[in-house]
Structure 1
């Protein structure tokens, strides 16, 4: 876990794999970002038996109360008056900006990064003078419904459109230098419009309405794919992603792990909060370092035999009950340092003896649940 924290600063060290904090003051915090998505954190109370409470609702286009129209930025207010015209990075967060034209961005001839998080922007308007030089655009948490306005952004490397109202991925497949693309918490039902983006390294589509993994075949350089909190029932369409290192697909409707055999370089697999009953079909994924199967109805640990490089195994709130099985299946993992078994029958039946029994079964372990040894 220590290594994971260093690699991913978004993980909250106060929260363990079950989402429980070990600090009374922090008990209402969301579970850690490994829970299902790299950016977005899901509250425990929105999940029921591994599925989101509204997952069965197909009324996906119900009209929403949009509330009052966004407050317009006064024309005589210059939010950027203190920025030098050779500024390369501009960050304007939570300022109720709705009209990008009022920012007069055309004066910043060297601008490379523009962050407009938590505003009220409905339409992306970038001056032609600066669009070709922009490398990083962040529109996280706005009111954008349509993906447009990026035609001239030929140098764009990162685009974040998370927490908006987007239903369709369109008009970005010309952005061939993109490496990081974020569409977390939108209204997307189909993975589309990404063909040709061969430089993509990370795609985040968590908390949408996706039912099928598709149209990713050309993204052969992809290293991270985040699909948590959707409605996916089957692992498919992944065979060509041979460089994939991280797959996060928590809080979906999976019943099997079949479909991962082509991912020889996969290092981290996050599949908590699904309906998986057994760990299987991982024989070819011999480079796996981290597996999170928490909150699945798994009763036995068979299926880990080939995973010699396993470092972290998270299996909180499953149905594991046999310490002999823990020893048999995990005892030969020389690199294993962290295990999570909290919430299983083997912990609940003998809570006082639980940690000692895990240590006896796995004497080289360095961390049991949230406790370092």
Structure 2
């Protein structure tokens, strides 16, 4: 007889081995950050044999590089910008002399799982670690001159380890596994925040980022717009592919020029009265059905040039007349959906037949 926990009353206990790193059983990409380094295969040819020793820029894209030391980069005392995209690098391992001069480092699309080896890169302004196998943002907070950092398409679950990057203007964390916006308070200079394709349910903890101009948070799990009241300089907001149902929450963002809420569940164009500088409205694939509402809410937006309404009932219910109706409602615009509007190509449904 077993109870609900499965215990059958016997005191026999099977001996079990203790696994130091249980993550290794669940993650095929797991690697122990404290394990001794694996020997890197030395290159059998000198990829930089013909490079000018005074070069400031070196690009080695898709060269099957696995060992950074094998490149002997210490030969280039003036090296400032290094691109090693699409290689097989697993460890960040540079000569100290290179660390002293490098300002831009691109390691996009490699096999890096741990951010290590950047201790001496005090002059670095740009760092790209996109398309790797990184799970945790670590060992970069001392890079105080960084103005942009990219972690696109990794396995990051939390925003962390960015304290001290007070000069950072562009932070790219798209296509990861992040669930919450947090730990950004010290990034006072931040202007662009890219968080598309994560698992975020709410925009919050943005109040200290008064210099933000761009927020991209497409393909997340938002149901409403929030957290933007302290961002008067916000110019571009990208919210496509979420589950937003209305546009409230934009009342304190008068500088907004571009608003993209395509592929949501918005049925009314309310709450846009404060957006006097709006130039582009991307609203495809929602539930907008009223041309009268389009005119009422948007006709006074004198700077509005581009609108996207395809995939809404106001387009699908009458596709033949759709563009003409939008043009009559919003005479100031120059583009409807993907096509630039031309006055000479429009035949108004009001009865104009082309005769003078």
TM range (shorter): 0.7 to 0.9
Task: Find the residue that maps to 1:130 and give its secondary structure.
Answer: helix
Task: Find the residue that maps to 2:230 and give its secondary structure.
Answer: coil
Q: How does 1:311-350 map to 2 (within 5 A)?
A: 311-350=279-318
Give the match for residue 10 of structure 1.
none
* Conserved? CA contact 2:43–2:67, under 8 Å: no
Higher RCO (Cα < 8 Å, 6 or more apart) = 1
Give the match for residue 291 of structure 1.
259
**Residue 352 in 1 paired to residue 316 in 2?**
no
Q: Deviations over 1:238-272 (max 9, x none)?
A: 00000000000000000111111001100000000
**Residue 132 in 1 paired to residue 96 in 2?**
no
**Residue 248 in 1 paired to residue 220 in 2?**
no
Give the match for residue 249 of structure 2.
281
Q: Distance in 2 between matches of 1:165 and 1:285?
A: 37
**Residue 205 in 1 paired to residue 173 in 2?**
yes
Q: Normalised by the size of structure 2, how large is the TM-score?
A: 0.85
Q: Distance in 2 between matches of 1:306 and 1:190?
A: 34
**Residue 164 in 1 paired to residue 132 in 2?**
yes
**Residue 226 in 1 paired to residue 198 in 2?**
no
Seen in structure 2, the aligned counterparts of structure 1 residues 76 and 219 have a Cα distance that, compared at 3 Å, is same
Seen in structure 2, the aligned counterparts of structure 1 residues 280 and 158 have a Cα distance that, compared at 3 Å, is same
C-alpha displacement of 1:281:
1.0
* Conserved? CA contact 1:73–1:96, under 8 Å: no
Name which of 185, 188, 205 aligns with 1:217.
185
* Conserved? CA contact 1:73–1:97, under 8 Å: no
Q: Distance in 1 between matches of 2:61 and 2:178?
A: 29
C-alpha displacement of 1:132:
1.2
C-alpha displacement of 1:84:
1.0
C-alpha displacement of 1:222:
0.2
Give the match for residue 144 of structure 2.
176
Name which of 103, 109, 114 aligns with 1:146.
114
Give the match for residue 80 of structure 1.
48
C-alpha displacement of 1:317:
0.4
Q: Deviations over 1:47-81 (max 9, x none)?
A: xxxxxxxxxxxx9x943479xxx9x7654400000
Task: Find the residue that maps to 2:100 and give its secondary structure.
Answer: helix
User: How many residues are treated as equivalent by the alignment?
Assistant: 311
Q: Deviations over 1:200-226 (max 9, x none)?
A: 000000000000000000001000000
Give the match for residue 274 of structure 2.
306
Q: How does 1:49-128 map to 2 (within 5 A)?
A: 62-64=26-28, 75-128=43-96
Q: Distance in 1 between matches of 2:91 and 2:29?
A: 19
Q: Deviations over 1:307-327 (max 9, x none)?
A: 000000000000100000000
- RMSD (Å) for aligned C-alpha atoms: 1.7
Task: Find the residue that maps to 1:358 and give its secondary structure.
Answer: helix
Q: Normalised by the size of structure 1, how large is the TM-score?
A: 0.81
Task: Find the residue that maps to 2:328 and give its secondary structure.
Answer: helix
Task: Find the residue that maps to 2:292 and give its secondary structure.
Answer: helix
Structure 2: which 5+ runs fail to align? 1-22, 31-37, 342-356
Q: Which has the larger radius of gyration?
A: 2
